[in-house]
Structure 1
Amino acid sequence: MSTVFLIESSPKSLYHSIQYSSRTIYLCWHHLTDAIREGTNQYEKAFGRNSKDLFQALYRSDEEMVKFMHLMNSIWNICGRDVITAFDLSPFRSIYDLGGCSGALAKHCVSVYPESSVTIFDLPKVVKTSREHFVSQRDDRIHFYEGDFFKDALPPADLYILARILHDWTDQRCVELLRKGYQSCTPGGGVLLVEALLHEDNSGPLTVQLYSLNMLVQTEGRERKGSEYSGLLAAAGFTCVHIHRTGKIYDVILARK
């Protein structure tokens, strides 16, 4: 298994994930006690950077941004196909992957659903790096759109994918983003959320509880229960919500307009 997950050249390598965890995430965990006491992330103590703008802190240098993109790339190289096939997405021809980062999930999506096109919506510098280092220009079903999904309008689409996006943010900001998706999606369209779901009684899974602590030390958000995501979707206007627990690391929620 080490040749599959630990060798940098392997398509399913976790090399970059391990490097990012040890050199970035763990430095925030040094201040876990402060995070619990204060209820805030620990970027300022760990790196001397104000986290008022979360992704300005996360992408505090081009090098750090590329490290994060490699982390996300390795995650979706392993888990992407599972979440993309949790529901039949073939009816959705125009798909926007909000915060699509390296494009790994977009690649899985066009592979499984060849009649669909996927647009990676992300910050300009992320899009530039994704074009240069992660996504082949030969695939004309993958496109790019530069923007900030909180500040800019969402182009109309059949489906918006938010994969490990909402767990970064407060409930208020989640509803704000979901409402934009509801208003912009075509009739019959919707959103696909990919998140690690807590049990309804908060008893686990242990991995997701640890992820939630990680959200505390790194972001404004937390991991949530399926019912909590359903509540956020309802507040944004969605009435048809389906939750699929995959039995693996990440679960999937499909909400339609």
Structure 2
Amino acid sequence: MLPNALEKAVYGVYATTAVHLAAKHGVFGFLLDQGAPVPTGKIAVALELDEETLDRLLLVLASFGVIERNEHGAYQVPVELAPFLDPRSPRSVGGFLSHVMNSTLGRLPQLDGYLTAGKPSVDASLPAPFDVMYKTPKLTEEFVAAMWQLTYDVSRELVPMAGLAGVRHVLDVGGASGPFCVAALEATPGLSATVFELPEVGPYVADTVERYDLRGRLDFAAGDFHRDEFPPTECVAFGYILSGWTDEIGLELLRKAYRACADGGRVLVMDRLFDDDRGGPLPTAVMNLSMHVEAEGRHRTAAEFIGLLESAGFADCEVRRSTQDKHLVIGFKR
């Protein structure tokens, strides 16, 4: 029998697939709606799924502790996991898993080539990272949904730490469909915000404006942050952006942010942080590997981010940590 850590590592790919399929086919939502343990047959009939295949998936999920199975073979979602498995919850992992399964997983085999030939050599014959993520409307929709689920809930915790009272405008660079902007606008009367993104994302921001009734407060500016200067603002926000790029590109983006910021303005870097010794945490280490195949960057320590901020001209940098995987590093333009 394998040691526990190795067992979970070896068989984890099956668990990830099972969680994704259960989320995709509404199993978790159905179990949560029932409010009591449900046998496989009843789930299969209600969701029009093959009972044998479903039973095998549920057994895997129960063995990993994702769901609970009672002595009668009926299943329910543990209370502590409900916020992450409920498709209606802002903390649901469903959108992120769809992106992992439909985009990231297909690119992981590139790691083999990276190990033997290096990333630059392998990537030379491949399309640019975001050309893949925005290749089709379906992939764009899945990527935007994943970014919402990774961003909105934690943003509600980060916004109060950002000290936006008195700030009139925020520019969210690469802000997807606007999850950080929505959290900021909900918490800050008098604030307006702009998402600066590739043109393909515009319709998703328009949907966000309608869904959250933010006409006149949230708008969209089409642009390429590699080629274009940023619109002027009092606050530039980067959420999961700098970790996608090299130090050189990250520094250039921060210099653009410095030029865009009014005097006394600030930049918000919201990202996963490695511990000072780079020994963890686990989600940061995993996503650091993901950045290697999905983008061109890496995850950093707080000190490394502060170094980039100071090189771009920002001062009085501060680190403010959330209770989740995403944290805040602030720099000020004096």
Q: Does 1:209 align with 2:285?
A: yes
Q: Which of 80, 103, 118 does residue 155 from structure 2 map onto?
A: 80
Distance of aligned partners of 1:38 and 1:166 in 2 relative to their CA distance in 1, 3 Å threshold: farther
SS at match of 1:100: coil
Distance 1:37 1:200, change over 3 A: farther
- Greater displacement, 167-176 / 21-30: 21-30
Determine the structure 2 residue equivalent to 1:134.
208
Asked whether 1:194 is paired with 2:270, we answer yes
1:63 paired residue number: 138
- Distance of 2:119 and 2:209 partners within structure 1: 35
Equivalent of 1:111, from 183, 186, 208?
A: 186
1:253 maps to 2:329: yes
Query: Is the Cα–Cα contact under 8 Å of residues 114 and 122 in structure 2 kept in the other structure?
Result: no
| Superposed structure 1 runs of 4+ greater than 6 Å apart | 41-45
Q: Which sections of structure 1, spanning at least 5 residues, go unmatched?
A: none
Provide the secondary structure at the position in 2 that maps to 1:95: strand
Structure 1 residue 253 displacement after superposition = 0.5
Counterparts of 2:236 and 2:224, CA distance in 1:
14
Alignment of 1:1-257 (within 5 A): 1=79, 3-40=82-119, 50-51=126-127, 53-131=128-206, 133-136=207-210, 138-139=213-214, 140-257=216-333
Q: 2: CA distance between counterparts of 1:36 and 1:168?
A: 20
Q: Percent identity?
A: 29
Contact 1:41 1:219 in 2 (8 A): no
Q: TM-score, normalised by structure 2?
A: 0.70
Q: How far 1:9 moved relative to its partner? A: 3.7
Distance 1:43 1:134, change over 3 A: farther
* Residue pair 1:97, 1:162 contacting (<8 A) in 2 also: yes
SS of residue paired to 1:200: coil
Superposition deviation, residue 37 in structure 1 = 3.7
- Cα distance change, pair 149–143 in 1 and its aligned pair in 2 (3 A): same
Q: Which amino acid aligns with 2:236?
A: Y
Q: Deviations over 1:25-68 (max 9, x none)?
A: 122223333234444289979xxx823x3321221112111110
Quote the offset at 1:119 in angstroms. Answer: 0.7
Contiguous gaps of at least 5 residues in structure 2: 1-78
Q: Which moved more, 1:78-87 or 1:157-166?
A: 78-87
CA–CA separation in structure 2 for the residues paired with 1:160 and 1:226: 18
Shift in Å at residue 194 of structure 1?
0.3
Cα distance 1:13–1:247, how it changes in 2: closer, same or farther (>3 A)?
closer
Structure with greater helix percent: 2
RMSD, aligned α-carbons: 2.2
| CA pair 130-158 structure 1, distance change in 2 beyond 3 A | same
Provide closer, same or farther for how the CA distance between residues 224 and 37 of structure 1 changes in structure 2, counting only shifts above 3 A: farther
Q: Secondary structure at the match of 1:135?
A: helix
C-alpha distance in 1, partners of 2:157/2:120? 30
What is the rounded CA distance, in whole Å, between the counterparts of 2:244 and 2:122 in structure 1? 14
Query: 2:174 corresponds to which letter in structure 1?
Result: G
| Contact 1:31-1:42 within 8 A present in 2 as well | no
**What is the CA–CA distance in structure 1 between the aligned matches of 2:130 and 2:281, rounded to whole Å?**
28
User: Residue 104 of structure 2 aligns to a residue in which SS?
Assistant: helix
Q: Is the 8 A contact 2:161 2:320 kept in 1?
A: yes
Q: Is this contact kept in 2: 1:181–1:191, CA < 8 A?
A: yes
* Alpha-carbon spacing, 1:239–1:44, altered in 2? closer, same or farther (3 Å): closer
| Mapped partners of 2:273, 2:322: distance in 1 | 10
For 1:91, what is the secondary structure of its paired residue? coil
- CA deviations on 1:94-153 (whole Å, 9 max, x unpaired) are 11011111111111000111121111111111112321x333273121111111122112
Name the aligned partner's letter for residue 28 of structure 1: R
